[in-house]
A and B are shown apart, each in its own frame.
Chain A
Amino acid sequence: MTQKKARRNYGWLLLVPAGIWYLVFFLIPSLFPLVFSFAQSDPTGGIFLRDFSVDNYARFLDCNFAAWSQLGECIYLKVFWQTIVFAVLGTLGCLVLAYPLAYFLATRVGKWRTTLLVLIIIPFWTSFLIRTYAWVVLLADQGLINSFLVDLGILADDARIPMLYNPFAVYLGIIYNYLPLMIFPLYVSLERLDKTLLEASKDLGANRLATFRNITLQLTAPGLFTGILLTFIPLTGEYIIPAILGGSKTLLMGNLVANQFLQARDWAFGSASSVMLIAILVVFILIWYRFSEGQSVEVA
């Protein structure tokens, strides 16, 4: 008995270092933007912790809806809305493109499966910045794709396709970087799928589409929900991809926040913007939780 009790204490103690680390360097810092968003910025950088007000939020929400379409009006709310659109469409894009590949890997590939899975992770091991920047080389007006098409005579030299510094380039960058996050959870749940159910469905007279909708999609819902969670949350805060591929036209919440912190040095307004960013995530998680009902897979 005494021995068992000693072992229990021992196990609990092992949690202390990580527990303190998470508390001090993660949980407590998480509260700082919330507090600072009500404070005033020190123009030389930093924050005055006095004169608490909602000014920063008022500035963010300041909007003349009648003049919504005009340039320069409601700039922050437009960025807010654009971020939601990009995150939702980007996640959907990843989902639609990842599902067939995950299905292929889980059902069609035999001994090459491990190799093909590893091949999906390898890009993660090179610099994220450099990989994203390589797309500039490919997509630019004078870039490799356009030049290639011109050399082939498909395009006229003065009719090069504008592929860079527009929303298309940003979506491409998003899908390029986030696709693996969607493929893995989908693969895990597709791999667990009992294949005999598919045959049973076929034997009972269901066509391919009905089988897919009623069996495959239903049973892989946990992977679907995990993938959506893993993609949407980091995607909402993304700012490297729009900064490199989007030019100055595509401004997302991440760019707004980063600019306030690293260039404008308006930390209080930056904090308020980041709280608005977190608000998107909280609403998303609530919706996600409502629909997923605890269905998710662990990808370790």
Chain B
Amino acid sequence: MTTADPSALLGTGVGRLIEIAFRVYAALVYLFLYLPILIVVLFSFNDSKSVQAWAGFTTDWYIKAWQDASIQSGLRNSLIVATLNMTAAVVLGTLLAIGLRKSPRLLIAIFIAVMYMTIISPEIVTGLSSLLFFVQIGKWLAIKNILGIPTIVATHAVWTSALVALIVRARLASLDESLNEASADLGATPWRTFWQITVPLLLPAIISGGLLAFTFSFDDYVITQFVSGPQSSTLPIRIWGMVRFGVSPIINSVATVILFFTLTSVFLAQYILTNENASPRPLLVWFTFVIGVVLYGVGPAQGFWNGLTGLEGLVGVATWIVVWMVALIGLYWVFRRLRPSAGLRVETAQ
């Protein structure tokens, strides 16, 4: 059906040849993009330490990865960093996108330029600038070991919030301004209009922006490597350390698990956000399940508290609980909001 048009238009033998060449070329590009990923997934089940030949099916590498202390602590740090970063990026980016709407032209131009700069500037430059900055601040303020999770989050939130802002801004451009005015005319305060009109309407953009912010922060190696301290190595840093000593099937299994969780979450989110009538419940259940597994895996099951003692331990445990309480409550709140927003979108479309 789809190919009938151009083929008929071209008709001749040369035209048909070009059509075939296009298809073959596209297939080759997709093969090129997916070959490494296929290798990773396949060899995570390979019953051999070698990555050169297939030696039968096993799931041992998954168990070994799960029990590996450096992967555990890396995963824990990555999850903390990515969650905090997502929160910061969503708040900063959403406020930025909404604020830009009613700003003077010059201010908009400046902010947009800075936002694009933060996104496309080479990661190594961002990383080393932040390293120099934080170390110098540490010297001036006499803070020992300033590098850690806070510095990673501060640096990640710069470009991930710009990303969220661009996505939310694109959605904002397609919204009907008169809804805000109607809300104001009906006597709502700006605060109430913001929570009851703007946020629900922007929710799809905020969620996809937040997911991106989480994923990019979780996967970032270059910037993180510059601004992380000895105690705050994230998963990519651990992976890099392992990769330097030659490839291990453990890494393949970690990558496969990450791919599986990201893909499932993103597809579920996409499905719910594009189908107005779909129930958000599967997504909520799925996220709760993922969070539960991760909580169990990096917490009680592997002695998350072991290295921490005294006050430090108490603060660590408290932070851990608060972070995940906030995450769960946040998710619950988000899905409570999702329904009215879907209804509202239908109404505005009419």
Contact = CB atoms under 8 A, between A and B. Distances in A.
A229 interface: yes
B102 interface: yes
Nearest to B216: A124
Contact of B129 (A6, A32, A125, A262): A32
Nearest to A118: B270
Query: Interface SS of chain B: helix, strand, loop or mixed?
Result: helix
A18 B37 contact: no
A279 to B, nearest CB: 12
26 contacts: A12-B102, A18-B165, A21-B158, A22-B158, A26-B126, A104-B22, A105-B26, A107-B6, A108-B3, A122-B263, A125-B219, A125-B262, A130-B239, A130-B251, A133-B243, A134-B36, A135-B36, A136-B247, A137-B39, A137-B43, A147-B53, A234-B123, A254-B122, A271-B128, A277-B124, A300-B170
Interface in A218-235: 229-230, 233-234
B40 interface: yes
B80 to A, nearest CB: 18
B3 A12 contact: no
Contacts of B101: 11
A40 interface: no
A234 B102 CA distance: 32
Contacts of A100: 22, 25
B344 interface: no
Interface in B95-135: 95-96, 98-103, 107, 111, 114, 117-118, 120-126, 128-133, 135
Contacts of B215: 125
Contact of B132 (A32, A130, A239): A32
B255 interface: yes
A229 B120 contact: yes
Contacts of B219: 125, 127-128
Contacts of B129: 29-30, 32-33, 274
Nearest to A237: B122
A111 B1 CA distance: 10
Nearest to A3: B184
B35 interface: yes
Interface stretch (A52-60, A138-146, A156-164): A138-146
A134 B153 CA distance: 29
Which of B34, B36, B52 has most chain A Cβ within 10 Å?
B36
A248 interface: no
Contact of A176 (B32, B96, B123): B32
A267 to B, nearest CB: 7
A274 B120 contact: no
B155 A238 contact: no
Nearest 7 A/B pairs, CB to CB: A237-B122, A14-B99, A110-B2, A11-B102, A134-B36, A29-B133, A18-B96
Interface stretch (B220-228, B293-301, B312-320, B325-333): B220-228
A270 B128 contact: yes
Given A14-B98, A123-B37, A274-B125, A97 B29 contact: yes
Nearest to A255: B124
Contact of A129 (B98, B122, B136, B239): B239
Contacts of A3: 184
A152 to B, nearest CB: 15
A32 B133 contact: yes
Which of B34, B91, B222, B262 has most chain A Cβ within 10 Å?
B222
Given A107-B6, A270-B128, A14 B96 contact: yes
Given A126-B37, A233-B121, A234-B123, A300 B166 contact: yes
B259 interface: yes
